[in-house]
Amino acid sequence: MFMDISSEMIHALLPIYMVSVLGTSAVAVGLIEGIAEATASITKLFSGALSDWLGRRKLLAAIGYGLAAITKPVFPVAPDLSWLVAARFIDRIGKGIRGAPRDALVADLAPPELRGASFGLRQSLDTVGAFAGPLLAIGLMWLTGNHFHFVFWAAVVPALVSVGVLLFAVREPDRPPGTRQARMPLQREELRRLGPAYWWVIAIATMFTLARFSEAFLILRAQSIGLPVTLVPIVLVLMSFAYSISAYPIGVLADRMDRVTILLLGMALLVLADLGLAFTTTLLGVGVGVMLWGLHMGFTQGLFATLVADSAPASLRGTAFGMFNLVTGLAMFLASLIAGVFWDTAGPEGTFLAGAGFASLTIIGLIAFGGRLR
């Protein structure tokens, strides 16, 4: 939660800062966001496998959070785009190092019958930080007269708090007796142990990810309708609020009912969000579309983490989460790049209509193959 507060204070303003202050194009924003997320995803694969090999998760999570924290001061002192790209790149490496071990740690700590609720709670706390960060950014931008650098400096504090919480308040559980330790997690023999159900989760999650793109384009859409720069972070506040209030209840629900149905509802929400954002001409319409986008995230992201944890052997959970994040991260890179091209060639309407089309195809695929997840 604290790291998300820090990150979102910066990321809520970064697309506008790049476009309006540094003169970056929308394609470049999509490319930078896509590369950043793909970098994190590739790193997650190796950090997850390493956590399985070591049999320990907390050390790698601490390194990842620490690396992200020390990059935060780069944003306020960056003289040009190359510095921002480098800081974003290193920050995402930190995210990649911590991501899979942290998720595997949650799975190790959570009782199996409460796994959906546990990942829903984790997503909710993440997104509490994700809307608290933009709210702080709005307040600080208003108090300082749109002083980007002051907000970026303020974001350093919660990042350091995050590292402290992990180091001093989180306990790593002992490995259950009789659990087989993965020797070389990325070898074919070990990957084969993940099983067909896991790979179907990967395939369907990839389809989902191709149907959406970076939230940076939600911010750009709001600005295109006329939202003042000072209020731009409200976009992520609305999205994260909808995400946070839905993720935990949906996680609880996922422990009790059919998960494919929940995924279908989540993708239908994305179609509605894309259509609304494509055709709206008012800030109210943008707000509704952004809220629907956040609800779609609450319906799907924690549920996918639960499916990964359920389908992977305990000794390979780090590798399983790493592979999941690698594949979906590459899909996110492609989706964000395509969105940037559509934005510069067909405008905001074309971007979100294309997203609705991809999401509709994903619904068809989930209806056809979703039975493999049951």
- Domains of the chain: which residue ranges? 2-170+190-373
Across 48-68, average pLDDT: 84
pLDDT tier, 234 (very low <50, low <70, confident <90, very high otherwise): confident
Rounded Cα distance between 70 and 87, Å, is 10
- For residues 141 and 371, give the distance between their C-alpha atoms in angstroms, rounded to a whole number: 49
pLDDT at 185: 55
Helices 234-254, 283-311: crossing angle, 10 deg rounding: 40
pTM of the model as a whole: 0.71
Task: Note the pLDDT of residue 340.
Answer: 84
Percent of the chain with pLDDT over 70: 89
Query: What fold characterizes domain 2-170+190-373?
Result: Growth Hormone; Chain: A; (1.20.1250)
Most confident of 12-26, 67-81, 290-304: 290-304
Cα–Cα separations (whole angstroms), residue 34 to 119, 251, 277, 335, 343: 25, 28, 21, 8, 15
At a CB cut-off of 8 Å and minimum separation 6, what does 158 contact? 2, 3, 5, 6, 9, 129, 133
**pLDDT, position 290:** 94
Distance CA 300, CA 204 (A): 11
Q: Is 72 helix (H, G, I), strand (E, B) or coil?
A: coil
Share of the chain above pLDDT 90, in %: 15
